[in-house]
Amino acid sequence: MRPLIGAQLGALSGLIGSALIALVIGLVYAAPSTRGKLRDQLVENAEKWAAARPSQPQVQAALDQLKTPEGFAVALIGGVLLLMVVCTALGCLGGALGGAIFSRRDQL
């Protein structure tokens, strides 16, 4: 396997994996009973993160925005898009590395 083919295969795997995760997150968000729990957990984790850092007005404004339904939806969509980019990039890198390792083995 050549590194280019490995990178393409890894990128495809990253896209498929992140799409499945996005689907599960979307299903959890669509259910009214779990939407509140998901939002509460995200806000709680964000408040813990913000408490560990010095108080800044931008951080408090972002937390206030996250507490609104629209802000939560934007944060969730942004997180899923970021997850897709990271999974695709890491899959591509891993596939290229694997392709390079296995192509060297075939040449020996």
* pTM metric for this prediction: 0.75
d(CA 101, CA 94): 10
d(CA 91, CA 74): 25
Per-residue model confidence as pLDDT tens digits over 60-82: 888 888 888 888 889 889 999 99
Give the whole-number percent of the chain exceeding pLDDT 90: 41
* Confidence label for 24 from pLDDT (cuts 50, 70 and 90): very high
Please state, rounded to an integer, the average pLDDT across all residues of the chain.
Answer: 87
What is the number of other CB atoms lying within 10 angstroms of the CB of residue 36? 10
